[in-house]
Each structure stands twice: as C-alpha cells, then as structure tokens.
C-alpha cells in the first residue's frame, strides 16, 4: 500500500487537478481484468467510458498496432497512405452513410460536425452569414472544448471559462415537441446523444429519435448524433440509433474505434453534408494517420468477427436483470441498454462516489456521475461468469448500506420496557 500512496502523492505533485481519481494505481491489464501495483486484481466495469470496449490488450489490436507502427506510423494527411481508404470504407459501409472525415478524439469529431453543419446551413439553406444555430439537449455531454462546454447545462463545466461562442440553443432531452418549437429560420441542425452517458445513462422516450428524424426532414435540418460512447456495439446494436431504425445525416464516433490503445475518431456523414469541406477547410496533423487507420480497421473487424454486438445485447440484458433484481432500498432506478447501465442512488442514503470506493475495495472498478449515478460499462468481451463475479460484490456493497426509509428514532431500554408493560 505504501507504493500506491507514494505513487499517488508523486502524481498529484506534478499533475493539474482536473480529475479526482479513485485511490488505486493500476499497472497492468488484460481482457476485463486490471492489476494494481500491490498485486490486487480488479474487474473493469467501466472500460474507460467505452474506449476499452474490446478489453485491455486485445491480441489482434496489439499485433496490428505493432506491425503498422514498424512499417509506417504518422505521415500527416499531406500524403496518401494504403490504410486510410480501407478504414474509412469500412466505416461508411457499417453506418450506411457516404463519406468519413477522421480525427483523433471525440471532442474533435464533435467540433468537426459543428463546423460542417454551420457551413451546410450557409451554403445549402441560405442562412445569413454567422447566424446559424444548432439545437442541443439539456444535460448534454459532447466534450470539453470551449465551444462545447459553452452549450453545456452543467455550471461546473462552464464556470470560469467564458466568454463562450454563441450559436446554440438548449432544449429538454427527450421532448420532441420542445425541439420542434425551438426551430427557427436560423436553425441548421439538431445535435444530440441517442442515450445521454455523462448525464447518467439516460434513455429518451421510445420514438424520440424517429420524431427528430421526421422534424429534420420536414424543416430541412441536419440530424447529428453523438455516438462516441453509445456506438460500436455498446447498446447491443452497432449504433444506438439503430434501435429506432433511423439514419442520421452525421454520425460522430470515437472511443472504441481506437481498440483501447490509441485515440481514433471520425465524423461520418451524407455526401450532401460532407461536400462542404474542401482542401484547407479543416484538418488535423494526426487525424487519419496510418497507425490510427490500421488500429481502427482492426477494431471494427474484431467487433464483427467476435460477435461483440450480439454479446452486448445478450449479456447487457442479463446485467440489467441482475441489477434490477437486487434488493436495496437505496436504489431509485436502474436503466440502460446493452452493456451500459446506470444505477441511480438515493442521495439521502449514500453518494455514488462512496459506492465506487466501496466497490474498489471489493475488486470492482466503476465510476460515478453527478454524485447520484453509478455507471457500469464493462468491456464487451466480458463473460456471464465474470458478470456474476461482479454482481456478488455489487450486491454485498449494497447490502451493507443502511435503509434510508427506516426510522432513525432511538429507543432506550427503559422506554422499551415501559412500552412492553
């Protein structure tokens, strides 16, 4: 334990305090299991917010990464390579869209979508210059850039970082009628997460995405879906919007696309949307580099070859069943889709962060959000036996919590004796 404390202290001394990590120092991981510097093993029930959907150190990903790095790693987009085309062709085929633009991180891909939507609004809809507006959802999370936190409804993401660029209007999530009322002649796009992850794995009402698709078709708007967390099998379909059988105009992908070893993201869209870009209009030194393209292509192949989408659907349903069957008076709600579940906690009984700390001691890695929701998003490679192993420890932690509805009145022995008499 001294090793852990020393490492944590050294890290804190030289690291900006923009995170508050759980008190564990991980040093090795394979599959769904991670090991700390003291030799203790943990079952990873977070998978880096879906970035490690294929598990830690997947052998096919490591092999592809090593081979490509040894051959050709980074060139910038100043030149063609023999791997970018196959990678983006696979993305286009999977999404049913037409053209892809590769970037590095999810936030970059969101920024790319914002730029594309605005230029589309000016060139296709004739919106007055610098007047385009994008409708977003309350409690959204699309990244951490200045523009993105500027339209966040979470005050802690915004505090001290202004002034923010305009051009966004927030609308309640899941309310298609409110979205309809918010549309004006300046509106060029609707940008939403099909399921809100950072907000606490919040699912919209059934039919919400279909209603948005209908609205966008009727008013000549773009429908942009951020599936950085929900995409690539996490919800039991390749993409969460497929549960409602719709097609967006722009699809934002990331996290799992990097196979758990490298940042890879992309905006995939219709030709009508993506034709707004021309040489010099957008770029990234590392975006679409050969190493990223090779890893991304292999990640997609692994998901397909190992049946991880169906695995997520089946084991996700099992995980939801187990969590909903758990008897605990502190659980307000259990919600999710596929291997992506949020357990909302009664804040009068415990904080979600304290539960994360308790689960850590039992060997389960999880993470809270907004103080009231415990998130579970294990690698899609997890087995039913490993879910059972985790559930035994989750149930143990919840069983130790006091009942918030029980009477807190203290009765003395004398009072009890008097009552019995």
Q: How far apart are CA 362 and CA 243, in angstroms?
A: 35
* 342 in the same domain as 295: no
Among residues 249, 274, 305, which one ends one of the domains? 305
* CA angle (397 as vertex; 27, 394 as ends), nearest 5: 65
**Spatial contact of 261 and 294, defined as CB atoms under 8 Å apart:** no
* 324 in the same domain as 378: yes
Q: How far apart are CA 71 and CA 353, in angstroms?
A: 44
How many other β-carbons are positioned within 10 Å of the β-carbon of residue 217? Answer: 11
Catalytic residue among 36, 90, 239, 255: 255
The 3-state DSSP class for residue 335 equals strand
Query: Strands 373-376, 99-103: parallel, antiparallel or unpaired by DSSP?
Result: unpaired
The pLDDT value recorded for residue 1 is 52
226 is catalytic: yes
Task: Assess if residue 410 is contained within a domain.
Answer: no
Q: What pLDDT digit, counting tens, does each position of 294-319 carry?
A: 999 999 999 999 999 999 999 999 99
Task: Assess if residue 419 is contained within a domain.
Answer: no
Domain encompassing residue 246: 59-305
Report residue 310 CA to chain centroid gap. 19
* 311 in the same domain as 300: no
Catalytic residue among 36, 226, 249, 368: 226
Catalytic residue among 141, 173, 277, 376: 141
Task: Assess if residue 260 is contained within a domain.
Answer: yes
**Spatial contact of 401 and 393, defined as CB atoms under 8 Å apart:** no
Q: At 265, give phi and psi (nearest 5°).
A: -145, 170
Task: Assess if residue 418 is contained within a domain.
Answer: no
Q: At 333, give phi and psi (nearest 5°).
A: -160, 150
- DSSP class of residue 243 equals G
169 is catalytic: no
Among residues 285, 305, 325, which one ends one of the domains? 305
* 63 in the same domain as 49: no
**C-alpha count within 13 angstroms, C-beta hemisphere, residue 346:** 13
**Spatial contact of 338 and 316, defined as CB atoms under 8 Å apart:** yes
Question: Which of 196, 247, 201, 257 has the alpha carbon at shortest distance from 224?
Answer: 247
**Spatial contact of 151 and 136, defined as CB atoms under 8 Å apart:** yes
Task: Assess if residue 404 is contained within a domain.
Answer: no
* 298 in the same domain as 197: yes
* 90 in the same domain as 28: no
Q: What pLDDT digit, counting tens, does each position of 313-357 carry?
A: 999 999 999 999 998 889 999 999 999 999 999 999 899 999 999
Q: How far apart are CA 351 and CA 361, in angstroms?
A: 16
* 69 in the same domain as 51: no
Question: Any alpha helices (H) in 52-186, and if so which ranges?
Answer: 59-71, 84-95, 106-120, 146-150, 155-158, 176-182
* 216 in the same domain as 78: yes
Task: Assess if residue 408 is contained within a domain.
Answer: no
* 259 in the same domain as 347: no
- CATH number at 249 reads 3.40.640.10
Q: How far apart are CA 238 and CA 409, in angstroms?
A: 52
Low-confidence ranges of the chain (pLDDT < 70): 1-2, 405-421
141 is catalytic: yes
Task: Assess if residue 416 is contained within a domain.
Answer: no
Query: Strands 41-44, 99-103: parallel, antiparallel or unpaired by DSSP?
Result: unpaired
Q: Give the bridge partners for 28, in sequence order.
A: 35
Element housing 387 (H / E): helix 384-399
Task: Assess if residue 413 is contained within a domain.
Answer: no
**Spatial contact of 94 and 300, defined as CB atoms under 8 Å apart:** yes
* 92 in the same domain as 18: no
- CATH number at 16 reads 3.90.1150.10
* 391 in the same domain as 317: yes
Q: At 150, give phi and psi (nearest 5°).
A: -65, -30
What number of residues does the chain have?
421
Domains: count for the chain: 2
* 118 in the same domain as 218: yes
Q: Show Cβ contacts of residue 325 under 8 Å, excluding neighbours closer than 6 positions.
A: none
């Amino acid at each position: 334990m001294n090793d852990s404390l020393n490492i944590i202290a050294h890290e804190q001394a030289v690291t900006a305090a923009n995170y508050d990590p759980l008190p564990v120092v991980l040093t090795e991981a394979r599959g769904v299991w991670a090991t700390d510097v003291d030799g203790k093993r943990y079952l990873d029930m977070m998978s880096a917010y879906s970035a490690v959907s294929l598990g830690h150190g997947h052998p096919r990903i490591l092999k592809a990464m090593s081979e490509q790095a040894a051959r050709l790693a980074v060139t910038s987009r100043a030149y063609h390579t023999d791997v970018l085309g196959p990678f983006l062709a696979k993305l286009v085929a999977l999404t049913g869209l037409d053209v892809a633009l590769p970037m590095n991180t999810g936030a970059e891909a969101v920024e790319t979508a914002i730029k594309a939507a605005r230029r589309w609004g000016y060139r296709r809809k004739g919106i007055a210059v610098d007047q385009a507006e994008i409708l977003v959802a309350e409690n959204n999370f699309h990244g951490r850039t200045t523009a993105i936190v500027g339209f966040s409804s979470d005050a802690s993401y915004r505090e001290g970082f202004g002034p923010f660029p305009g051009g966004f209007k927030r609308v309640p999530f899941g309310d298609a009628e409110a979205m309809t009322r918010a549309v004006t002649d300046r509106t060029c796009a609707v940008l939403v997460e099909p399921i809100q992850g950072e907000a606490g794995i919040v699912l919209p009402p059934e039919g919400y995405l279909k209603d948005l698709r209908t609205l966008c078709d009727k008013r000549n708007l773009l429908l942009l879906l951020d599936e950085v967390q929900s995409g690539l099998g996490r919800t039991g379909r390749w993409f969460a919007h497929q549960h409602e059988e719709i097609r967006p105009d722009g699809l934002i992908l990331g996290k799992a696309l990097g196979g758990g070893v490298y940042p890879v993201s992309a905006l995939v869209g219709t030709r009508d949307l993506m034709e707004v870009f021309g040489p010099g209009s957008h770029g990234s030194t590392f975006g679409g580099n050969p190493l990223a393209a090779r890893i991304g292509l292999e990640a997609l192949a692994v998901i397909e070859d190992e049946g991880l989408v169906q695995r997520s659907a089946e084991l996700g349903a099992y995980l939801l069943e187990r969590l909903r069957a758990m008897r605990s008076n502190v659980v307000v709600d259990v919600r999710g889709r596929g291997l992506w579940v949020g357990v909302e906690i009664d804040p009068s009984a415990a904080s979600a962060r304290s539960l994360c700390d308790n689960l850590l001691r039992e060997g389960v890695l999880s993470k809270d959000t907004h103080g009231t929701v415990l998130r579970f998003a294990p690698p899609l490679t997890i087995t039913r036996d490993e879910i059972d192993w985790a559930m035994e420890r989750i149930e143990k932690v919840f069983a130790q919590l006091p009942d918030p509805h029980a009477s807190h009145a203290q009765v003395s022995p004398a009072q009890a004796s008097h009552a019995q008499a």
